[in-house]
Amino acid sequence: MSSKNNNETQDKWNLKSRYFWVEGWGSAFLAVLAALTIRWGTFEAYVIPSGSMLPSLLIHDHIFVNKFVYGLRVPFSEQWLVKFSEPKKGDVVVFKYPKDMSTFFIKRVAGEPGDKVYYESGKLYINDQLMAQEAPLDQSDFNWLNDDTFKKENGPSDKIENYTHYTETLGSVRHSILLRNSNFSDPFGPVTVPDDHLFVMGDNRDNSADSRYWGFLPKPNILGRASIVWLSCEETLPVLEFLCNPLTIRWGRFFHQVK
């Protein structure tokens, strides 16, 4: 064995050597550390598993979540190191489900601390003010939907014509919502959002398990704000269900901004 090889063998375990950090195990450690740091503090990828956010987010949309926008946390905890801003009305947030912290949900913030929330017949009232619902300026969100979308979620009898697409304004955010044409659900509220909590709802208002059913969202449960769709598909692979079927990719949703 040459002296060069001998030196490299010795250096790959020597923490003070340049070889250890550039080509040896140190470089692998730094790569893993960088990846974990990015995931912990800046962006993380998630996949939309259900239709509760239709038509804003589709089933099998792959999104990036901005974890830096609200602040930085102590790793592997709900404690903040530093906070930059607070979630506000209209934000689409990913969070740990309060009833099962191992499960992640995605919903839209409808009420902030101190807000009085009331919902009846598809109408959302915040502090006794009706949140505006208007005919959409365009149908770009709704055009992604079809009968199969609703059959997968609610059974073979459901179909797209059972729903109407509206544009709602929450705070400064104009976003899409879906309402079932025949809405016979019971009124909800009014309730007042407590300190350090939020009231969250799905955009698919009649098919969403949200704060109307399981209560207020503690702010420490929030992981970040949804930012963009980086990949989307109609179907996943039969065996590897976490991977998109390349034959069903929705090319037009690449880099679609989450509103």
Active site residues: 52, 107
Tokens matching residue 37: 């740091």
d(CA 13, CA 9): 8
Give alpha helix (H) positions in 144-245: 147-154, 211-214
Asked if residues 201 and 107 have their Cβ atoms less than 8 Å apart, the reply is yes
CA 196 to chain centre: 20
Contacts of 178 (CB under 8 A, 6+ apart): 54, 55, 163, 164, 165, 166, 203, 204, 205, 206, 207
CA distance 96 to 73: 14
With beta carbons less than 8 A apart as the criterion, state whether 199 and 221 touch: no
Q: How many CB atoms lie within 10 A of CB 90?
A: 17
